[in-house]
Structure 1
Amino acid sequence: MIESSRLRIARIAPMACPFSFLMLMTMTVLAPTPVNAGPCSAEIDSLQAAVDARIDTTAGVGRTGRESTAATAHRQPTPGSIARAEENLGEGVSYEQVLAALTQARAADQAGDATSCERALGVARSAMER
């Protein structure tokens, strides 16, 4: 009995090797690959965080407005929707130009255009200072 089970294992083991190799190759091909970031991705992320923090601070200190229909539909607010709500209440700074410039910077960043990206970031920074 022991002899026959050893023979059975010896016959199965060589078949497992090609299958393991095939599985390893499949996993290697399907593994995620790193993606190169654009020329100013870090600056965009940093400025977006600063804008989000400023919008959040502004939203936290002012008076409250009516809850919209979209808010009751279990949708999460975006920085843009919060900024528009603040503008409708007559509070805070207009962030529309900042958010539009950040959108332009992201588009230029994805295209690999560092000059346009830096220009759009400059517009966003100057709009934030107003």
Structure 2
Amino acid sequence: MTSTAKCRIAVFILLCATMPAHAGTCADGIAQTQAQLDLAIEKDAGSHGWKPESLSALRSHQPTPGSLAKAEGDNGIGFTDALASLDRARTADRSGDLAACNLEIAQARAVLK
């Protein structure tokens, strides 16, 4: 085996060793729950009829799931709590705390039921 081939193999091994491991993360659960929550917020936002435009809408700001949940007032309280849980789940996932991440996902999914 030539030294060039050995060097390429060594570089490949080093690159593989430095790649983040996704097997233990809960990123898929967060993404799935976020999608379900977004659909629930959209469905709920359209079910209460027309409301006056907010100042943000008049300034051409694009709506976010959080702003839609806040606009619903009392109806959106559970949704804002679920969005906060997903933010905490992302933080726990980045720090590698799988148990806390799964707990926050479960709390966000409880709002959807």
Give the TM-score normalised by the residue count of structure 2.
0.73
Q: 1:96 Cα shift? A: 1.6
Q: 1:35 Cα shift? A: 5.7
Q: Which amino acid is the alignment partner of residue 97 of structure 1? A: D
Q: Which amino acid is the alignment partner of residue 107 of structure 1? A: T
**For residues 29-54 of structure 1, what are the alpha-carbon distances to aligned partners after superposition, in whole Å with 9 as ceiling and x for unaligned?**
xxxxx765470001000000000001
Q: Distance in 1 between matches of 2:81 and 2:71?
A: 15
Q: Which amino acid is the alignment partner of residue 37 of structure 2? A: V
Q: Distance in 2 between matches of 1:93 and 1:73?
A: 24
Report 1:75-94 matches (<5 A). Answer: 75-87=61-73, 91=75, 94=78
- The equivalent of 1:104 in structure 2 is 88
**Higher Cα Rg, which structure:** 1
* Contact 1:62-1:91 within 8 A present in 2 as well: no
Q: Distance in 2 between matches of 1:115 and 1:91?
A: 30
Q: Distance in 2 between matches of 1:76 and 1:99?
A: 17
Aligned positions, number:
95
1:128 and 2:112 aligned: yes
Local SS of the residue matching 1:44: helix
Give the TM-score normalised by the residue count of structure 1.
0.64
* Contact 1:104-1:120 within 8 A present in 2 as well: yes
Q: Which amino acid is the alignment partner of residue 91 of structure 2? A: A
Q: Which amino acid is the alignment partner of residue 126 of structure 1? A: A
RMSD: 2.2
1:119 and 2:103 aligned: yes
Q: 1:105 Cα shift? A: 0.4
Local SS of the residue matching 1:94: helix
* Contact 1:101-1:123 within 8 A present in 2 as well: yes
Unaligned runs of 5+ in 2: 1-18
Local SS of the residue matching 1:60: helix
Q: Which amino acid is the alignment partner of residue 113 of structure 1? A: D
Unaligned runs of 5+ in 1: 1-33
- Percent identical pairs in the alignment equals 36
